[in-house]
Amino acid sequence: VQRPTIADIARLAGVSKGAVSYALNGQPGVSAATRERIQEIAQAIGWNANSAARALSGSLAGAVGMVLARPARTLGVESFFMQFISGIEAELAPGRVALVVQVVEDHEAEIATYRRWWGERRIDGVIVADVRTHDTRIPLLEELGLPAVLTGGATSHHGSIARVWVDNAAPVRVALRHLHGLGHRRFGRVAGLPELEHTAMRGEAFDEWLGEHDLTGLTRYTDYSPEEGAAATRALLAEDVAPTALLYDNDVMAVAGMTACHEDGLRVPGDVSIVAWDDSVLCRIVHPGLTAMRRDIAAYGAVVARTLLDVVDGHRADARQAATPQLVVRASTAPPATT
Least Å distance, CB 276 to a second copy, is: 12
What dihedral angle (degrees, nearest 10) is formed by the CA atoms of 295, 301, 307, 311? 150
If binding means CB under 7 A, how many residues of this protein chain bind DNA? 32
Of the residues 12, 15, 77, 235, which one makes contact with DNA according to CB under 7 A: 15
In angstroms, the CA 7 to CA 9 distance is 5
Q: Looking at residues 54 to 73 of the shown chain, list those that interact with DNA (rule: CB under 7 A).
A: 54, 56-59
220 makes contact with DNA (CB under 7 A): no
By beta-carbon proximity to a second copy, the closer residue of 210 and 308 is 308
Least Å distance, CB 49 to DNA, is: 5
Nearest to residue 219, comparing CAs of 188, 242, 173? 188
Phi, psi for 285 (deg, rounded to 5): -95, -10
By beta-carbon proximity to DNA, the closer residue of 30 and 128 is 30
The option from DNA, a second copy, none interacting with 82 (CB < 5 to 8 A, set by class) reads a second copy
Least Å distance, CB 305 to a second copy, is: 12
In angstroms, the CA 51 to CA 266 distance is 59
Least Å distance, CB 3 to DNA, is: 6
The option from a second copy, DNA, none interacting with 284 (CB < 5 to 8 A, set by class) reads a second copy
Phi, psi for 177 (deg, rounded to 5): -60, -40
By beta-carbon proximity to a second copy, the closer residue of 56 and 170 is 56
Nearest to residue 89, comparing CAs of 299, 279, 281, 294? 299
Least Å distance, CB 32 to a second copy, is: 25
- Per the CB < 8 A criterion, the answer to whether 257 and 300 are in contact is no
Of the residues 12, 39, 49, 115, which one makes contact with DNA according to CB under 7 A: 49
The option from DNA, a second copy, none interacting with 7 (CB < 5 to 8 A, set by class) reads DNA
Question: Angle 209-211-215 (CA atoms, 0-180°, nearest 5)?
Answer: 95
31 makes contact with DNA (CB under 7 A): yes
Least Å distance, CB 163 to a second copy, is: 22
Q: Please report, as a single letter, which amino acid is at residue 2.
A: Q
What dihedral angle (degrees, nearest 10) is formed by the CA atoms of 203, 204, 206, 207? 110
The option from a second copy, DNA, none interacting with 77 (CB < 5 to 8 A, set by class) reads a second copy
**H helices, E strands: number in the chain:** 13, 12
Least Å distance, CB 123 to DNA, is: 15
By beta-carbon proximity to DNA, the closer residue of 5 and 259 is 5
Judge if the upstream peptide bond of residue 269 is cis by omega within 30 degrees of 0: yes
170 makes contact with DNA (CB under 7 A): no
What does the binding site for a second copy look like in residue numbers (CB under 8 A)? Answer: 1, 3-4, 46-56, 61-63, 72, 75-77, 79-83, 85-86, 89-90, 93, 96, 98-104, 115-116, 118-122, 143-145, 226, 230, 252, 255-256, 258-259, 262-263, 280-282, 284-287, 298
Q: Name, in order, each residue with C-beta under 8 angstroms of 135's C-beta and a sequence gap of 6 or more.
A: 158
In angstroms, the CA 328 to CA 276 distance is 10
- Per the CB < 8 A criterion, the answer to whether 225 and 197 are in contact is no
Would you tell me which residues interact with DNA (CB under 7 A)? 3-7, 14-22, 24-25, 27-32, 34, 47, 49-50, 53-54, 56-59
